[in-house]
Each structure stands twice: as structure tokens, then as C-alpha cells.
Amino acid sequence: MDKEIYAVALNNALNEIRNVCPDVSCSFIFTKDNLVVAADEQAAEAIIEKTMHSFQTIEEKARAAIGGLTTLLINGKKGKASISSVNDMYVAMAASEKADLICLQSVTRVVVPTMLRLLEGIAPTPLKLAPSQQLIVDTLSGFFVGSSVEIDPHVLEQWSEILNVKKVDEVEIEAFGGKTTQCKAKEIGEEKLKGKGIIRIPEKTCKSLEVKKGELVKVKPLEG
């Protein structure tokens, strides 16, 4: 099955979830590395990015305290949300305050895994379908900085596998404001910064993109 067709099938399946649970307002699937696999037509990009960033922060704290997090349920006055681990990914759903949490969990634990198994049964296809990724900005400064950005080695390796190339050495960066730029990329060298979903961007480039340290940007690999 072609990757594009596979992605469309997943997106359509997520759209059908609202027929099972009408109170679901939007849903999307993302990997543990914040790669968006599929999203229904109601899932706004800003909501997806904010959700993944917030969940990453919570999951990191849970990992340090209890070894990890498989399910997160939020029962608020204005709505409910569910994020659950499924097949090495996370399924996120937002619903109205009237939504049945049992229904949400049934969809997550039964419907979504069944849907994924059916698609895999038709034609096994890697689920890392969307190489663009939201990364947290850190700044690079100094006389010898140059114009290249530094990215987590794990992210670069994952992109190489997705694109079936030996090395990814150029990326496109898009800020929330819409500004974009293309930069040469290399691995982050500092061990303490690896595995944290960070992109280190020279201060001059940050100014042109109008982004600051701690903000999110969308980054995608460019094939040479």
C-alpha cells in the first residue's frame, strides 16, 4: 500500500471515530518522537503542536518519577481529553464535557488498534509517515557558530530511515508566524541535550524567523 494512501486511510478512520463517539471533537495519532502519523479534519495544527509539547513535558516527568506514562485522562469543566499509548504511538482525542470517558477509552483501546491491525494486514507499511516534526528552539551564539543548525541525532537517524538515505544534512524550518528558511543540519554534540527534541538555531537565523528560545518550530528534512 502506498504511504499516501495509507495515511489517507488512517485519516478517514479517525474522521469516522466521531460516528462512534459523537462527542469527540478531534483526534490524531503521533509517535513518541512527536511525528504526526494521522489527524482527522477537525484537528487544527496549533492544537496538535500544543498538545504534543505539553504531553512531552508531562511524560518526561512521569518517566523520571514512575518509569513512564501509558494513559493520560483529563476531565475538565470545558471538555475532556484522552492520550493513550497504542502500538508504540499515542492516540490523542479531545471531546466535549458531556463525553463518556468509557467510550473514549473503548475507542482508544479497541477501535484504533483494530484499525491499525487491519491496515497492517493489507500491506505492512511504516507508520512514520510524516517526517516533519515539532522541535524546541535552543539558540547558538558565538563567533564560530556559522549558519548550520544542530538537531538531535535520533531525529536525524529516524529521518534517514524514513527517506531511505544515508544522511540528512539539510532541513526546512517553519515558524508559527509562517516564516521559513532552509539550513544545513548536523548532530547535536552535547550529550545532555540529546533526546530532548531540541533544535539549536544560530541567533541570526532565529531573528529572521522571529522565534525565541523555548518556542516550537516545525522542521522537515530535505532530500539531497
Q: pLDDT (tens digit, 9 = 90+) per residue, 29-51?
A: 888 777 787 888 888 877 888 88
State the distance between the two ends of the chain, measured CA to CA, in whole angstroms: 25
pTM summary value: 0.57
Q: Are residues 175 and 104 in the same domain?
A: no
The mean pLDDT values, 10 residues at a time, for the chain of 224 residues are: 62 77 86 79 80 84 77 85 81 87 74 70 52 84 83 87 86 89 91 85 93 90 78
pLDDT of residue 128: 47
Q: Are residues 149 and 38 in the same domain?
A: no
- Rounded CA gap, 14 and 12, in Å? 5
- Residue 175 resides in a domain: yes
Residue with cell 538537531: 151
pLDDT of residue 211: 93
The x, y and z cell numbers of residue 16, run together, are: 469516522
Q: Helix 112-122 vs helix 3-20: angle between axes, to the nearest 10 degrees?
A: 150
Residue percentage of the chain with pLDDT more than 70: 89
- Rounded CA gap, 205 and 182, in Å? 10
pLDDT of residue 3: 56
Q: Are residues 112 and 140 in the same domain?
A: no
Half-sphere exposure of 88 (CA within 13 A, CB side): 5
pLDDT of residue 131: 67
CATH number at residue 198: 2.40.40.20
Q: Which amino acid is at 180?
A: T
Beta carbons within 8 Å of 25's beta carbon, 6+ residues apart: 42, 79, 94, 95, 96
Q: Are residues 19 and 83 in the same domain?
A: yes
